Amino acid sequence: GDAFDDKLRAAVLSGCLIVQNDAKEKCAYLTGNLRSSIHSKVAKEKKGYVEAEVGTNVVYAKRIEYGFNQADKLGRVYHQKAQPYLRPALDKNKKKVVAEIGSALKEVLR
């Protein structure tokens, strides 16, 4: 019922926070703009299902994560090496996130 859905939502967001906080720690830091923009949110939700995401809306975030070795729209050429922060945070914390969600659901199903 609703208690299950509420607990599921909270557990998923709690798991996202683990990844979010680690991504912020791993993130390249110059101005702090990218780091402070990393956030978690519920992306899809229906009865018994919650999908959430950790991400950023900063335009250059992909360049930092994956690198950028080409010309931009203005013709300036960049050779920026990748400095991954999101994928490593997810990979490192995947088991922790699953455990977080699992224990919250066990609690509500008792």
pTM: 0.85
pLDDT at 105: 83
Domain ranges, ordered by start, for the chain: 2-56+85-109
Beta-carbon contacts of 97 under 8 Å, excluding residues fewer than 6 positions away, are 15, 16, 18, 19
108: confidence class by pLDDT, cuts 50, 70, 90:
confident
Structure-model confidence comparison of residues 98 and 109, the more confident one? 98
78 by DSSP, 3-state: which? strand
- Using pLDDT thresholds of 50, 70 and 90, give the confidence band for residue 15: very high
Contact 21, 36 (CB under 8 A): no
Amino acid present at 65? E
Instruction: Identify the weakest region by mean pLDDT among 46-50, 51-55, 82-86, 92-96.
Output: 46-50
Q: What is the pLDDT of residues 40-81, one digit of tens each?
A: 999 898 988 899 999 999 999 999 999 999 998 899 998 999
